[in-house]
Amino acid sequence: MWQRMRWAWRNLWRKPLRSSLLMASAAITAAILFLSYFFISSMDRSLTASESRFGADVMVVPKNYQAVASQMMISGEVSPFYMPASVMDKLKQIPEIEAMSPQLYLETYSGVCCQVQGDFPVVAFDPETDFTLQGFMSADGKEMGRDSIVLGSEAGGKNAILHLQYKSYEERVDLFGQTFEVARVLFPTGSGADNTIFMTMDAARDLRNRENNELKYPKDSISVVLVNTKPGDDEFVRRQIERLVPEVSAVTGNNLRETINKQLFPMRLLSYSMIVIVLLMATLQAMTLFSALVNERMREIGMFRALGAGKWSVYRLLFGEAVLASVFGAVVGVFVVATTLHDNQGVLTKAFRLPLVFPDLISTIGLAAAAVLLTALIGVLAAAVPIAGILRHNPYDAIREGE
């Protein structure tokens, strides 16, 4: 086995330029396959995480703002849209609603938060009624008050989390002219919340009511209401809300998922098309290179047959060469892409404006292995066609034609 592999490896280096091209082609193929699947997987994981953060059966937004709400879920960016807080009173009339909690999207803060520089959306929430963030909130920390904030994991939360267990720990952030203390942090959610700073609704109202306030949102307003219903009542509640409160729109988790999927469809289509095109191109390219490599060895193959090698023995030898070239190239390609992605996660997330949740190490290794295997399979398939062509000749003709 090892002897045969060593022989195959030496055979590859008979034609160093062509074998290098073959390996480079395999590297590019595997890299693109890995990259495409990596992004699709990251997007899916992010959407799943967003849904679980959404954690509500129904989301109530101002009339005609469903699309903006779903965009917000995709990009994690806060859009300023508002409706009167009195909407909450109307919603209380629906008996099928079990819980509801408002959120108010303020503005984006640009600055440093727990040694992290960036643009952080600021959102107000009601700690009394909240049921979406609490599942991600750190156990260590302080009670929320009017001058407290909660940090998303990427908004400095990662830096603060280790220190929150110490009562003496104090981290302060100046927002819109007022100093806030970090009370808690959120564990990574894989959604826009990771990049967000949360304050209480009371604190937001205080800021709004101050003289020379920097916040421009309308008085007594909210952006969304997150609603939990009795099991199976979400669609019924959605319709009830739109009937009773005409100035709002309501979307269920399923609606949102569908809308998001629709919006992401072109990107998915592009990724899958790219995968198909890459596979096709790589197969044709490898087939061309292998045709040249194999045809040059027609006499040798004829001689092997004369020396007693069956067709399968010839396939095995040349497949060994194809697999070696493909796997070697693919491993290099995947390694380069994986390390580049790992080192530039933040840059990529910002560049794509998507809350990408990168797969964990095990999943990444699985994806890498799948890309390498698929590339090796392409190599074998590409080699099979010219080998089969030569093996159609009888050994004597192969020897003569190869002369």
Partner 1 sequence: MLQLTGVKKTYKAPHGLVRALRGVDLTVERGEFVAIMGPSGSGKSTLLSMLGMLSAPTKGSVMINGRETNAMNDRERTRLRSEAIGFVFQFPSLVNTLNVRENVMLPKMLVSSIGAADIKRADSLLEQVGLQGRGDDRSFQLSGGEQRRVAVARALMNDPLLVLADEPTGALDHETGVSIMELFRKINEAGKTVVMVTHDQELSRYAHRMILIRDGVITE
Look at the alpha carbons of 21, 24, 30, 31 in this order and tell me if their dihedral is positive or negative.
negative
Shortest Å, Cβ 21 to partner 1: 19
CB of 87 or CB of 301, closer to partner 1: 301
CB of 357 or CB of 399, closer to partner 1: 399
Torsion of CA 396, 397, 402, 403, to 10 degrees: 70
HEC sequence for the chain = CHHHHHHHHHHHCCCHHHHHHHHHHHHHHHHHHHHHHHHHHHHHHHHHHHHHHHCCCEEEEECCCHHHHHHHHHHCCCCCCCEECCHHHHHCCCCCEEEEEEEEEEEEEEEEECCEEEEEEEEEECCCCCCCCHHHECCCCCCCCCCEEEECHHHHHHHHCCCCCCCCCCCEEEECCEEEEEEEEECCCCCHHHHCEEEEHHHHHHHHHCCCCCCCCCCCEECEEEEEECCCCHHHHHHHHHHHCCCEEEEEHHHHHHHHHHHHHHHHHHHHHHHHHHHHHHHHHHHHHHHHHHHCCHHHHHHHHHCCCCHHHHHHHHHHHHHHHHHHHHHHHHHHHHHHHHHCHHHHHHHHCCCCCCCCHHHHHHHHHHHHHHHHHHHHHHHHHHHHHHHCCCHHHHHHHCC
Shortest Å, Cβ 312 to partner 1: 9
Report d(CA 41, CA 341) in Å as an integer.
14
CB of 143 or CB of 403, closer to partner 1: 403
Shortest Å, Cβ 379 to partner 1: 19
CB of 35 or CB of 398, closer to partner 1: 398
Shortest Å, Cβ 302 to partner 1: 8
Give me the residue label for tokens 């319709």.
239
Shortest Å, Cβ 289 to partner 1: 19
Shortest Å, Cβ 395 to partner 1: 4
CB of 174 or CB of 397, closer to partner 1: 397
* Cβ(248)–Cβ(83) below 8 Å: yes
Shortest Å, Cβ 398 to partner 1: 9
CB of 317 or CB of 377, closer to partner 1: 317
CB of 171 or CB of 321, closer to partner 1: 321
CB of 5 or CB of 277, closer to partner 1: 5
Shortest Å, Cβ 285 to partner 1: 25
Give me the residue label for tokens 């044709």.
284
Report d(CA 4, CA 310) in Å as an integer.
16
CB of 232 or CB of 308, closer to partner 1: 308
> Angle 312-313-315 (CA atoms, 0-180°, nearest 5)?
60
Shortest Å, Cβ 3 to partner 1: 6
Shortest Å, Cβ 401 to partner 1: 12
CB of 280 or CB of 306, closer to partner 1: 306
CB of 10 or CB of 219, closer to partner 1: 10
Shortest Å, Cβ 288 to partner 1: 23
Q: What residues make contact with partner 1 under the rule CB under 8 A? A: 1, 3-4, 7, 10-11, 14, 299-300, 302-311, 313, 317, 394-397, 399, 403
353: Cβ contacts below 8 Å, ≥ 6 apart: 75, 77
